[in-house]
Amino acid sequence: MTTNAALAARRTAAIPSGLSKYLDVYIERAENAELWDVEGRRYIDFAAGIAVNNTGHRHPKIIGRVREQLEKVTHTSFQTTPYIDYVAVCEKLNTIVPGDFEKKTFLVSTGAEAVENAAKIARAATGRSAFVAFSGAFHGRTLMAMTLTGKTTPYKAGFGPLVPDVFHLPFPIAYHGVSEEESLAALERLFRSEVDPTRVAGIFVEPVQGEGGFYPAPATFLQALRKICDTHGILLIADEIQTGFARTGKMFAMQHAGVAADIVTMAKGLGGGFPIGAITGRADIMDKIPAGGVGSTFAGNPLSCAAALAVLEVIEDEKLIDRAAAVGNRLKSTFEEWQNGNAFACIGEVRGLGAMVAIELVRDRTTREPWPELVKAVTHAAAKNGLLLLSCGTYGNVIRVLAPLTIPFEHLDEGLAIFKDTLLATVREMEGNQ
């Protein structure tokens, strides 16, 4: 039997250090919200492959559809020899993406690729070059997506020059002293001092900042952005790569604000574990690119399309939108209970939307000084105790929960119990060392 340690040594020798190394846990198999490593140890999954396995690991319906597809055809390249499931995924997304207007969709393989294409479409459709994005945003690691990302280290530092004509604004985060009004005033200032709004092609926004720390944008803020975009002929581009597909208790997070974007980027949860991304937008905008201007060899691979169609059925059949709300409520109320107890002064804030819930850990509730060392220690200790947790946040001091929406409550509660014990023990240990 191989061991996690042996594989870690092979990894270090074979793979560059630029791929971050989170845990030395090598997974052998997974089922719904449970994973087992190569040493036979079991883990409860509160990570869902970073918001990919919303429908759980190896959902029988998804696996069944992919297996059927495997027996038919696995690749042709849609641009050369099309197939029905690609068209069916696009038709379905045109129906479910918010917006009471005609839409068109095309498929890609990753989130970053969806973002790159959204930027290209926005430039081609508007004839403008500039983009506005937010500090703390994460849009991917390719050149344009990286430029739009609002965090320097480790995403941008050393990789410049970045794409010109991209401007960042403070994201409204009340907990960190940035109000919605201040954020909008910064946009107004930007238009006056840096870039004329008639030069701006699009504003990229995550309705809930994901990697940045699970900060939901206030509904009124998204509504204000919609208005500003309409006033100046700017396209509103919603990055729903992490928030999409029932995660937040709606099919798409923008629905909480009742705002329809002009272009929506999607990936992660759409394929339920198979790589696929999508760009859906207003038909008049999407049709502005000449044939051959977008596309890629693998995009909309038949296995991923079969998976995506099954994912969309599972979300509907198993009412995962409602389930996300139920899972989210359970998470939030548990974390609030901890926060209100004496032993957890380190929990500065509990927040989230639907089943996208996080706790922000601070050294002191009054100063709100981030405590990233605690987050690192807790996530590592939790893995040792059989729970997979992810961190996030500009300061690395947030623990987020992205459990599969299909997680049985029994496993959710088991995971929460491990989380609680681990957090308590780690805080005591760290305070003891101070």
Residue 301 within binding range of ligand PMP, rule CB under 6 A: no
Instruction: Report, in Å, the least distance between residue 275 CB and ligand PMP.
Output: 8
Q: What is the largest CA-CA distance in the chain?
A: 64
Q: Give the 3-state secondary structure of residue 94.
A: helix
The token pair at 167 is 């401007």
Give dist(CA 152, CA 135) in Å, integer.
10
Which one of the listed residues 103, 151, 250, 268 is annotated catalytic? 268
Instruction: Report, in Å, the least distance between residue 174 CB and ligand PMP.
Output: 21
Give dist(CA 319, CA 382) in Å, integer.
30
Site stretch for ligand PMP (CB under 6 A), options 12-20, 24-32, 33-41, 235-243: 235-243
In terms of Cα–Cα distance, which of 137, 146, 120, 287 is closest to 202? 120
Which one of the listed residues 134, 138, 204, 214 is annotated catalytic? 138
Residues from 207 through 226 that contact ligand PMP (CB under 6 A): 210-211
Residue 171 within binding range of ligand PMP, rule CB under 6 A: no
Tell me which residue has tokens 């919200």. Answer: 33
Site stretch for ligand PMP (CB under 6 A), options 121-129, 137-145, 178-186, 279-287: 137-145
Instruction: Report, in Å, the least distance between residue 141 CB and ligand PMP.
Output: 6
DSSP single-letter state for residue 390: E
Residue 140 within binding range of ligand PMP, rule CB under 6 A: yes
Give dist(CA 285, CA 318) in Å, integer.
34
Strands 215-216 and 208-209: antiparallel
Note if 332 is an active site residue: no
How many residues bind ligand PMP (CB under 6 A)? The answer is 15
Pattern 336-375, ligand PMP, x by CB under 6 A: ----------------------------------------
Site stretch for ligand PMP (CB under 6 A), options 238-246, 327-335, 373-381, 400-408: 238-246
Residues forming a β-bridge with 16: none
Give dist(CA 223, CA 216) in Å, integer.
13
Give dist(CA 262, CA 350) in Å, integer.
31
The token pair at 418 is 């491990």
Give dist(CA 342, CA 254) in Å, integer.
36
Note if 138 is an active site residue: yes
Residues recorded for the chain: 434
Residue 280 within binding range of ligand PMP, rule CB under 6 A: no
Using CB atoms within 10 Å of the CB of residue 340, give its burial: 0 to 12 exposed, 13 to 18 middle, 19+ buried. exposed
Instruction: Report, in Å, the least distance between residue 413 CB and ligand PMP.
Output: 27
- Residue with Cβ nearer ligand PMP (247 or 411): 247
How many other C-beta atoms are found inside a 10 Å radius of the C-beta of residue 42? 9
Pattern 23-52, ligand PMP, x by CB under 6 A: ---------------------------x--
- Residue with Cβ nearer ligand PMP (37 or 262): 262
- Residue with Cβ nearer ligand PMP (301 or 426): 301
Residues from 241 through 260 that contact ligand PMP (CB under 6 A): 241-242
Which one of the listed residues 239, 274, 335, 419 is annotated catalytic? 239
Applying CB under 6 A, which of residues 33, 47, 112, 118 lies at the interface with ligand PMP? 112
Using the Cα atoms of residue 92, residue 93, residue 96 and residue 99 in order, give the sign of their dihedral.
Answer: negative
Using CB atoms within 10 Å of the CB of residue 290, give its burial: 0 to 12 exposed, 13 to 18 middle, 19+ buried. exposed
Note if 376 is an active site residue: no
Site stretch for ligand PMP (CB under 6 A), options 9-17, 33-41, 206-214, 337-345: 206-214
Residue 279 within binding range of ligand PMP, rule CB under 6 A: no
DSSP single-letter state for residue 248: T
Residues found near ligand PMP in the complex (CB under 6 A): 50, 110-112, 115, 138-140, 206, 210-211, 239, 241-242, 267
Catalytic residues: 138, 239, 268
